[in-house]
Structure 1
Amino acid sequence: MGLAALGLPLLSGCSRASHAEGSADQLASRPVAALAPAPAALPDSLRPSPVAAVAGVPDTLHQAIARLHQALGPAAADLRPEVLEQACVGYLILHHTGRIERSGVLAVADMDLPNTTERLWVIDLQNASVLHRSLVAHGQGSGHLRARRFSNVESSACTSLGFYRTSGTYDGVHGYSRRLQGYDKGENTNVFDRYIVLHAADYASPDYVRQHGHLGYSQGCPALPPAQYKAIISTLRTGSMLLVSGPGLASRWLDGPAAGRRFVQRGWR
């Protein structure tokens, strides 16, 4: 069954051509039907998949993450503790190895939650506060309400799981946008070449949800609401960490014992 039969929009916007600098008229994108298979015809379940605890996280770090979650307050009520633990462990490892230069700030998108929920959080670790929370779109090839299929392939139109480093900004078809680099081999290392970036999209807005009952879909980009994208992109300046979490996430950076040692030495710095 095709996208039109499902009532889903045929969107373009996250291919390399669509993000290059220039006008939208000059940068015609390929038809979506040529990029990816249609999402499943049956409605998605709204029940998130279980998230396995990160192996080997010592009690000291586990308790610190639990205290952080509690201190984040109501803004993080829907942020699952296991996903926050993934983000914190990856942050500690990546920052320690110099792959993430920005200290004390991380972003996490739980793509297993329905796209009608604000499933992106930007967190200040030092002050235990939520700097931003917003809707975020997933790729058209990844599913309907929830992202269930993930790919590192350019023609997939899918979201890619894993840990990302934010890179430079540019002004393209979608306006102010921020490039991303992937750090999980085989999972998201092609995102820079695929032009998977942070950008604004009308289909990622609360108004779109009210009208259609779900967000629209990107070609794999974590697209943001027009009312919030500038603030989020500015906060996640070059060298910040983003985790895109979802079913089947497996990353070399989820090293619980090493993260525990790093936390004892430096805390969140």
Structure 2
Amino acid sequence: MMRFPALLTGAALAVLMGAAGCQRPADVPTAAGPPPGLPPGPPAALPDSLVLTPVPAVVEVPDTLRRAIAQLHAALGPAAAALRPAVLEQACVGYLTLRRTDPSFRAGLLAVADMDLPNTEERLWVLDLKNAKVLYRSLVAHGEGSGHLRARRFSNQEASACTSLGFYRTAGSYDGIHGYSRRLEGLDKGENANAYNRYVVLHAADYASPAYVRQHGHLGYSRGCPALPPEQFKAIISTVQGGTTLLLSGPGLHSRWLDGPVATRRFLARGWG
């Protein structure tokens, strides 16, 4: 995937400057109101509001499984504190449903990215479910077409440059223009099923690094790939070998794999294995 770093829009830059305590230019009205003599106008639009979108609970998840997921979240410890419980629930239900449907999915390993979080946060987790351990947590970029600080638009279409939400199965690794990379198979028809043909893959990118955030105040953007920091990509890509379940979660996620009853039957029979 090609690198397409982008600058923040003026509005988004103003938000960041305010958050950082930067001095406001003299000709910009302050929060106290408009200049004397002008009628009050609507509040300024915040295209990259940091108020996260509420995540609906997965329907028909029995209390037995819901408690087990809550216990897992607590056992994962501080490294998973920013992983929202409802997103973890989505990921676990999908993982269990996929494992019941196809046991060849890798047992006990789950990767989940909350693409609603700002791209300045480490919003990708690789989890060892059996040992309740966070193996990796890292930054991850979203597509140029999906938004700025947060991914707000998603598409399965060719040339959209958007992130596609849904469940993925990791496939083979290869050496491409970004070096060591891993193919992804989208498992949700209409949501991410074009990912393989779009070459949406895991790969490294310098615009997905902490250094880029320090310099620009945000990550750069891919053409839809969940691009990883150069410091971590080899370890992450090596760990999520073919057959690993990956969820890219975000506003408007729809997936046939969010099947609470099926997931529960799998959990009661085999646990997280």
TM range (shorter): 0.7 to 0.9
In structure 2, the residue corresponding to 1:155 is in which secondary structure? coil
Listed one character per residue, the Cα deviations across residues 53-99 of structure 1 (whole Å, up to 9, x for unaligned) are 00010111000000000000000000000000000000001011117
Q: Which runs of 5+ in 1 are unaligned?
A: 9-40
The answer for the alignment partner of 1:224 in structure 2 is: 228
Q: Does 1:245 align with 2:254?
A: no
Q: Which runs of 5+ in 2 are unaligned?
A: 1-5, 13-44
The answer for the alignment partner of 1:47 in structure 2 is: 51
Q: Does 1:101 align with 2:105?
A: yes
**Residue among 4, 9, 12 paired with 1:6:** 9
CA distance in 1, matches of 2:179, 2:103: 27
Q: Check whether the contact 1:100–1:240 (CA below 8 A) recurs between aligned residues.
A: no
The letter of the residue matching 2:208 is A
Normalised by the length of structure 2, the TM-score is 0.84
Percent identical among aligned pairs is 74
**Structure 1 residue 261: deviation in Å?**
1.2
1:71-220 residue pairs with structure 2 within 5 A? 71-98=75-102, 101-220=105-224
In structure 1, the residue corresponding to 2:198 is in which secondary structure? coil
The letter of the residue matching 1:75 is A
The letter of the residue matching 2:69 is I
**Residue among 62, 73, 92 paired with 1:69:** 73
In structure 2, the residue corresponding to 1:193 is in which secondary structure? helix
**Structure 1 residue 6: deviation in Å?**
2.8
Cα 1:215/1:169, change in 2 over 3 Å: same
Listed one character per residue, the Cα deviations across residues 10-30 of structure 1 (whole Å, up to 9, x for unaligned) are xxxxxxxxxxxxxxxxxxxxx
The answer for the alignment partner of 2:35 in structure 1 is: none
**Structure 1 residue 100: deviation in Å?**
5.2
CA distance in 2, matches of 1:42, 1:77: 26
The letter of the residue matching 1:132 is Y
Listed one character per residue, the Cα deviations across residues 114-160 of structure 1 (whole Å, up to 9, x for unaligned) are 00000000000000000000000000000000001000001100000
CA distance in 1, matches of 2:104, 2:249: 18
Q: Check whether the contact 1:99–1:165 (CA below 8 A) recurs between aligned residues.
A: no
Q: Check whether the contact 1:94–1:100 (CA below 8 A) recurs between aligned residues.
A: no
The letter of the residue matching 2:214 is R
Q: Check whether the contact 2:8–2:148 (CA below 8 A) recurs between aligned residues.
A: no
The answer for the alignment partner of 1:27 in structure 2 is: none
Q: Aligned pairs, how many?
A: 235
Q: Check whether the contact 2:170–2:240 (CA below 8 A) recurs between aligned residues.
A: yes
Normalised by the length of structure 1, the TM-score is 0.85
**Structure 1 residue 101: deviation in Å?**
1.8
